[in-house]
């Protein structure tokens, strides 16, 4: 099964999201799993009958005195099925490390929420050819804390940090090699086959050549998903 994830980040207002949600319902039944992740305030207005509702973040804590936090029980009560964890922006801007990622995943799993786990190398690791080492470390350090039944509920999102928001896309050979490596790590360590999707400056100019990678199981789309018409164009192109 293929996956398309729309990560709307901290964008759009209420009126825009009401229109966005309405447009989503005009999409035909898609032969993929479509996951839409709006900002927290708009989770409650989403009505995911032809897509899955995802959250962009989750607290590392359960219910309690944690001002500003949103826990897994709350997300589940809003109909959230997936949550993005480990995104490079969370790692960089909010200093989230592997310990925090594990705690957040525990919160998700305990509330029957599936995890979109983001991994990827920065520009220095890319230039020094340390990508494989970083990917293996990011994956194993986190997934080793969970059992196979829990790991089955994970989608791996490969997002090279140096590509996100830059307009620079890795070559086909580079992407194919890294996606195959991630799948090999998952199989070698856990004897599982998990979906691996790609994120990083996906747009109308590059989606056709990226979708040609046979081992790729879909995309996580950021900036190009903010406008519903542009996002619809990408979906149509991917499925054509």
The pLDDT of residue 83 is above 80: yes
Per-residue tokens: 37: 């992740």
| Alpha-carbon 38 to chain mean position | 12
Per-residue tokens: 151: 């790991």
Q: Which residues are catalytic?
A: 87, 159
Is 3-239 assigned to CATH 3.20.20.70?
yes
The pLDDT of residue 162 is above 90: no
- Give me the mean pLDDT over the 109-130 stretch: 94
Q: Which residue, 236, 234, 237, is CA-closest to 201?
A: 234
Longest dimension (CA), the chain: 49
Helices (DSSP H) in 110-171: which residue ranges? 123-127, 131-143, 148-151
Q: Are 226 and 12 in contact (CB under 8 A)?
A: yes
3-state secondary structure of 3: strand
Per-residue tokens: 46: 């989403």
pLDDT of residue 47: 81
Element (H, E) at 22: helix 14-24
pLDDT class of 163 with cuts at 50, 70, 90? confident
- Quick: pLDDT tens for 1-28: 899 999 999 999 999 999 999 999 888 7
Mean pLDDT across the chain, nearest whole number?
Answer: 93
Question: How is residue 166 annotated by DSSP?
Answer: T
Where do the structural domains in the chain lie, given as residue ranges?
3-239
pLDDT of residue 65: 96
pLDDT of residue 154: 98
- Quick: pLDDT tens for 17-68: 999 999 998 887 788 999 999 999 999 998 888 899 999 999 999 999 999 9
pLDDT of residue 50: 86
Element (H, E) at 101: helix 98-109
Q: How many CB atoms lie within 10 A of CB 180?
A: 14
């Amino acid at each position: 099964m293929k996956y398309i994830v729309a990560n709307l980040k901290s964008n759009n207002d209420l009126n825009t999201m009401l229109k966005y949600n309405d447009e989503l319902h005009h999409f035909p039944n898609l032969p993929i799993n479509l996951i839409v992740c709006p900002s927290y305030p708009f989770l409650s207005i989403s009505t995911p009958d032809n897509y899955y509702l995802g959250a962009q973040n989750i607290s590392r804590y359960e219910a309690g005195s944690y001002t500003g936090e949103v826990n897994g029980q709350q997300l589940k009560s809003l109909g959230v099925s997936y949550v993005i964890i480990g995104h490079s922006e969370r790692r960089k801007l909010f200093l989230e490390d592997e310990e925090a990622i594990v705690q957040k995943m525990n919160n998700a799993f305990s509330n029957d929420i599936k995890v979109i786990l983001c991994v990827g190398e920065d520009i220095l690791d890319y230039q020094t050819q340390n990508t494989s080492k970083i990917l293996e470390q990011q994956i194993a350090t986190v997934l080793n804390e969970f059992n196979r039944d829990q790991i089955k509920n994970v989608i791996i999102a490969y997002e090279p940090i140096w590509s996100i928001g830059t307009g620079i896309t890795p070559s086909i050979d580079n992407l194919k090699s890294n996606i195959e490596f991630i799948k090999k790590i998952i199989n070698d360590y856990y004897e599982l086959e998990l979906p691996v999707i790609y994120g990083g400056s996906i747009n109308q100019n590059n989606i056709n050549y990226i979708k040609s990678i046979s081992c790729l199981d879909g995309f996580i789309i950021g900036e190009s998903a903010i406008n519903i018409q542009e996002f619809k164009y990408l979906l149509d192109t991917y499925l054509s």
